Amino acid sequence: MPAYEPVIGLEVHAELQTRSKMFCSCPVVDLTTAEPNTAVCEVCAGMPGTLPVINERAVEYALRVALALDCQIHQQSIFARKNYFYPDLPKGYQISQYELPLATQGRLIIRTSQGERAVRIRRVHLEEDTGKLTHVERNGERYSLVDLNRAGVPLLEIVSEPDLHSVEEVRAYATTLRQLLRYLGVNSGDMQKGVIRFEANVSVRPVGSNQLGTRVEIKNLNSFRALEESVAYEIERQIRILERGGRVEQQTLGWDEARRVTVPQRSKEEAHDYRYFPEPDLPPLLIDDAWLERVRQSLPEMPWARYRRFREAYGLSEYDAGLLTAEKAVADFYEAAVAASQGQVPPKMVANWLLSEVFRWLNEHGKSITELPFDAKAFAALLRAVHTGAINKNTGQKVLAEMFATGQHPDRIIEAKGLRQISDADQIQAWVNEVLDAHPKEVAKYLAGKTSVINWLFGQVMRRARGRANPQAVRQALEAALKRRADIAD
């Protein structure tokens, strides 16, 4: 029996979060909080006699994405009407791009357990979003509510070639694309608000074949989880059909979240069913060299480039570099802290504290790094105090807790609470002697060979020092003192 290889191509719809809509001046509002139908005008409600006007900022955002994806930019592209009837589409057509899209032939580098790979991008085009339907059932009556706040919101469609061959690659592609959109500042990445949606085209073929199998298209996937689960389900379903000697039917499917199965939807339209034709109300979209160059210059460092640089410049592990570059704001904070530490704190230590202590607090409080009550400089000052031994690690964690709570500068907290680390040898010696004198039984146990008791004694000394003693110095003094007592006992 031949082994089968999955073949997947993704279509990603991302809202471009401009201030106003694609073809009118209505604001782009948060669908989850705005009153329905409060951001609607004649244009986006599809009144006869109105005319669309292209949103320059939306084009600029689209160019950012297309350039970041290494696409070939078409400096002249054409808007087209995609005609179909649906209650969320007031005009009876969607303005999109078809034969001549904004950009084609790009690529996105993804990272999986197999290493790095380029996934080819087929096209990137601009269009407008539809309204939103809410299906309700009340007192036995079923009806649908229409909210046109989303109608006309700029939408970017990014279509990959069928280059993905596992669920892992699908996940990597989708998350990398989301990361990129956020880096570019064109989309919040807030999946719960539906600002990014996926469609997965899935087929399978015998390993070694270079022909494409019959594909299905899974529509309306609004989360990474739905994307991954539905693709995994389809791969298995199709392999089972082929193993039985059957044929996969080309169809459009939906994903039933509750039952976790794909379900057939309306049969797939062919392009001619949409009766695409050039939008007569809009001129061709022209992008001159100067504009293109301006956008190119404005691009930030790409996440994958930053990842590589973090690994090389700061000696970070794949895992740490991945976490630190996942979000631009995190990477910015990290680099600002490293810079502020002026070479006095190892970059690896900055990474450790950020990824453990700070991330834990952010997770616990459901906050993002931009909401920290202190800046990267203050964070660097704390780490400098720990690294130079002004305070010990434990005290550092306590100071950080105080910084989270009050936003105060670490130096002020250390001074105000008298937390400065004590390394004075005489003082430490005195604490060690006090502890050993106070606990003759434990000392005897240690001398009798139960050396792990030293950890308990260490704790007692630190306690006497109210946590401020230099731990290395305490350990050394403790070992030396116990050794002296052992020599005497011999």
Element (H, E) at 37: none
CB of 179 to Zn ion, least distance (A): 31
CB of 237 to ligand ADP, least distance (A): 14
Compare residues 81 and 215 and give the one whose CB is closer to ligand ADP: 215
Sheet containing 277-278, strands listed edge to edge, beginning at the edge strand earlier in sequence: 93-97, 79-83, 277-278
Q: Among all residues, whose Cβ is closest to ligand ADP?
A: 9
Locate 69 and state its tokens: 């994806």
CB of 407 to Zn ion, least distance (A): 42
CB of 252 to ligand ADP, least distance (A): 9
DSSP characters over 94-153: EEEE-SS-SEEEEEEEEEETTEEEEEEEEEEEEEE---EEEEEEETTEEEEEEEGGGTT-
Q: Which does 8 bind (CB under 5 to 8 A by kind): ligand ADP, Zn ion, none?
A: ligand ADP
Q: Which does 392 bind (CB under 5 to 8 A by kind): Zn ion, ligand ADP, none?
A: none
Q: Which does 203 bind (CB under 5 to 8 A by kind): ligand ADP, Zn ion, none?
A: ligand ADP
CB of 113 to ligand ADP, least distance (A): 22
The CA–CA distances, whole Å, from 170 to 107, 201, 229, 230 equal: 14, 11, 11, 11
| CB neighbourhood size of 217 (10 A) | 17
Q: Which does 7 bind (CB under 5 to 8 A by kind): Zn ion, ligand ADP, none?
A: ligand ADP
Please pick, from the candidates 10, 26, 248, 482, the single residue that binds Zn ion as defined by CB under 5 A: 26
Interaction between residue 29 and Zn ion (CB under 5 A): no
CB of 155 to Zn ion, least distance (A): 15
**Sites for Zn ion among residues 377-406 (CB under 5 A):** none
Q: Which does 11 bind (CB under 5 to 8 A by kind): ligand ADP, Zn ion, none?
A: ligand ADP
The CA–CA distances, whole Å, from 255 to 200, 219, 252, 363 equal: 11, 7, 10, 30
Q: Which does 325 bind (CB under 5 to 8 A by kind): Zn ion, ligand ADP, none?
A: none
Compare residues 218 and 340 and give the one whose CB is closer to ligand ADP: 218
CB of 211 to ligand ADP, least distance (A): 9
User: How far is residue 328's CA from residue 302's CA, in Å, rounded to a whole number?
Assistant: 9
End-to-end CA distance of the chain: 77
Binding site residues, ligand ADP, CB under 6 A: 7-11, 122, 159-162, 201-203, 212-213, 215, 217
User: How far is residue 59's CA from residue 314's CA, in Å, rounded to a whole number?
Assistant: 36
Q: Tell me the number of residues near Zn ion by CB under 5 A.
A: 5
| CB neighbourhood size of 365 (10 A) | 11
Q: Which does 160 bind (CB under 5 to 8 A by kind): ligand ADP, Zn ion, none?
A: ligand ADP
Locate 489 and state its tokens: 């006992």
Locate 57 and state its tokens: 């900022």
Compare residues 104 and 179 and give the one whose CB is closer to ligand ADP: 104
Whether 16 contacts 62, CB under 8 Å: yes
The CA–CA distances, whole Å, from 89 to 44, 58, 131, 416 equal: 9, 20, 6, 63
Compare residues 11 and 375 and give the one whose CB is closer to ligand ADP: 11
Compare residues 43 and 195 and give the one whose CB is closer to Zn ion: 43
Q: Nearest-CA neighbor of 321 among 341, 339, 335, 300?
A: 335
Interaction between residue 58 and Zn ion (CB under 5 A): no
Locate 110 and state its tokens: 């993804």
DSSP label at residue 307: H
Compare residues 11 and 411 and give the one whose CB is closer to ligand ADP: 11
* Binding span for Zn ion by CB under 5 A among 17-25, 174-182, 235-243, 480-488: 17-25
Please pick, from the candidates 12, 22, 44, 403, the single residue that binds Zn ion as defined by CB under 5 A: 44
Count of residues making up the chain: 490
Q: Which does 201 bind (CB under 5 to 8 A by kind): Zn ion, ligand ADP, none?
A: ligand ADP
For residue 53, give the amino acid letter: V
CB of 44 to Zn ion, least distance (A): 3
User: How far is residue 232's CA from residue 260's CA, in Å, rounded to a whole number?
Assistant: 11
Interaction between residue 148 and Zn ion (CB under 5 A): no
CB of 169 to ligand ADP, least distance (A): 13
User: Which residues are paired to 83 by β-bridges?
Assistant: 93
Residues engaged in binding Zn ion (CB under 5 A)? 24, 26, 41, 43-44
